Chain A
Amino acid sequence: MGYRILDHTADIGVEVHGATLADLFSQAAFALVDLLTDRATLTGATAKVIRIEGADMTDLWINYLREILYLFNGENFLLKDIPEITFNAPTNIQHSRTPNPTESHNILSVKGLDINKSEGKAAERSLEASLLGTTYNPRRHTIKTEIKAVTYHHAEVKQTPEGWQGIFIVDV
């Protein structure tokens, strides 16, 4: 599972594939960092935890990627790895939910994810991810592309027979 770059006149589109939703979200963040810099040159010395919400899965997807980009643009944090992503059930029923069995994929795990839940408007999505990365150092890390933003344009997250697929377009 991984990603490929889609052609878009002004910007860069990315199509991401993942065996699980957590895999998809991790791969997407890695794709974003790969566009910025050579991820192989990064270390995972600094830990961070982010919590993201969205009105639906697509909104969560973009809000999450916006945050990964902000961590670089605003806090000089370059992501190396995501040891864990936890998806929470819609927040409006969060207090009454019982934890679902954990689904594992490599070092990633998905907790409490109800993938059969439709993208209802009232049902807010949220996730928590622990990140490992490093502080950007202009002498050690080359920035390939300045990414202005992750856009909502053509954004999508869907389940496929192989797992999950997501698309996002960045403004460069």
Chain B
Amino acid sequence: MLKKIDDCRWEVPMTGGMKVPGVIYTSERLLKDMGSDESQKQVANVAHLPGIVKYSLAMPDVHWGYGFPIGGVAAFDMDSGIISPGGVGYDINCGCRLMTTRLAYDEIRGNIKELVTALFQNIPSGVGSKGDLKLSVKEEKKVLEEGAGWAVRQGFGTPADLETTEDGGRMEGADPEKISDRALERGREQLGTLGSGNHFLEIEVVEEIFDPIGAAAFGLELGQVVVMIHSGSRGLGYQVCDDYLARMVKHSGELGFPLPDRQLACAYLKDSRGQDYYAAMAAAANYAWANRQMLMHWTRETFEKTLHKGPREIGMKLLYDVCHNIAKIETFPVEGKEVQLCVHRKGATRALPPGHAALPPAYLKIGQPVLIPGNMGTGSYVLVGTEKAYTDTFGSACHGAGRVMSRTQAMKASKGRSIHREMADLGVTVMASGRGTLSEEIPAAYKNLDEVVAVVHRAGLARKVARLRAVGCIKG
């Protein structure tokens, strides 16, 4: 069913009710991994939705999701198009942030174990983990309106952090009144927690630099210690998605077309249901930014305390924060004209080119940092956005490695093995709160990150800047 376009792109040709074709960015090697994966069908299903523009896209880390594939990107016309909670995902504004430091790995090599232990103690993680503060609903609504800015106002970090956060850590159009009591209740105790599953906080070392100019602009140098945080909007976000999906499923008969999958339930952008979801989603996105801002603050504190150094010596600076589960109103070229669209990125990272108005001044010349977290043990990549992504993929690139093994397969594959030990042999100190987390997250459960990033680089969607190697990791 797939038609090869070039070495990086395969087309899902238009059939049946598809309004546009599908395009999957991948390689011969990654296609083999895709095997019987249902993600191709899901790319086609998304192409059925009203108002979809140009094509239904999938990034090289695509894998079978529910409704929309994970790694999917789709843009919709503001007048005739839809917005879909399933096109964003349950973890609204799941994303990552990368902090640089003034520390060289050689300096603190002997402190990694101590740092990991201290981080594990200071940063609440694990299933349904609760933070130290229980917000009043009134205060929580401020978080939902103000995002990372709220956290900075409370003393978690500095205003400079907001400059290098996507959208300044606050999405416009957020309305806390569109969030259910259930979601509010779930969010009250979980602000400032990492969560579980594939969420992590990792100490990494800059291992390889591909683009010296890009690396210099981002403040990266060989042997430098950096920290990557991967987390999202916690139970509040899951509940918002769940609430609105149910509401949209209930009214799906009014859409005027049959849904290929209920999980694709959506509402027209112009309808109140679509607008309500957008306002609630934006509020959940703000919660996630406040969350990552707090996690970063505690990371800074932990480094200072553990290494007995001041904030200046550690110099932990936010390189960038990007979200990879979101729907946003952005402008991209369509048939030679700049058009406002609702871009859904479900497991895809925004990648803006040099000169884009949404970039912080420091990155205006070079382009947006694109952060690609790997799975446990393999490290991560930093890339930079390009003009090509702007014209071809609605300013989007991949978001990670993408699973190839189901969690049950991974559990079986890791039976009888000491994953802790194997990680230690790879040079990574790991601490996890969940019993099964390490087994489910073994490196073999994921696609090869190098190959995924190579496709994005070759296709010109984002350019490789640096590769980071993990040395310490805490997981939920």
Chain A: residues with CB nearer than 8 A to chain B? 5, 7-12, 55, 58-59, 63, 66, 70, 73-74, 121, 142-146, 148-149, 151-155, 169, 171-172
Contacts and interface: CB of A to CB of B under 8 A. Distances in A.
Per DSSP, are chain B's interface residues mostly helix, strand or loop, or mixed?
mixed
Contacts of A11: 65-66, 407
A153 B263 contact: yes
A144 B436 contact: yes
Contacts of A145: 127, 407, 434, 436
B60 interface: no
Nearest 10 A-B pairs (CB), nearest first? A153-B66, A152-B262, A153-B263, A146-B127, A143-B127, A151-B66, A148-B90, A9-B64, A146-B196, A7-B406
Given A55-B250, A146-B197, A153-B262, A66 B70 contact: no
Contacts of B63: 9-10
A149 B408 contact: no
A151 B196 CA distance: 19
7 contacts: A70-B242, A144-B436, A145-B127, A145-B436, A151-B263, A152-B66, A153-B263
Instruction: Pick from A58, A63, A121, A153 the residue with the most CB of B within 10 Å.
Output: A153
Given A74-B182, A146-B197, A146-B476, A55 B249 contact: yes
Per DSSP, are chain A's interface residues mostly helix, strand or loop, or mixed?
mixed
B265 A152 contact: yes
B128 A73 contact: yes
A149 B242 contact: yes
B91 A148 contact: yes
B241 interface: yes
Contacts of A58: 262
A171 B66 contact: yes
B202 to A, nearest CB: 19
B1 to A, nearest CB: 19
Contact of A74 (B64, B185, B262): B185
A70 B403 CA distance: 27
A61 B250 CA distance: 13
B127 A10 contact: no
Contact of B128 (A63, A70, A146): A146
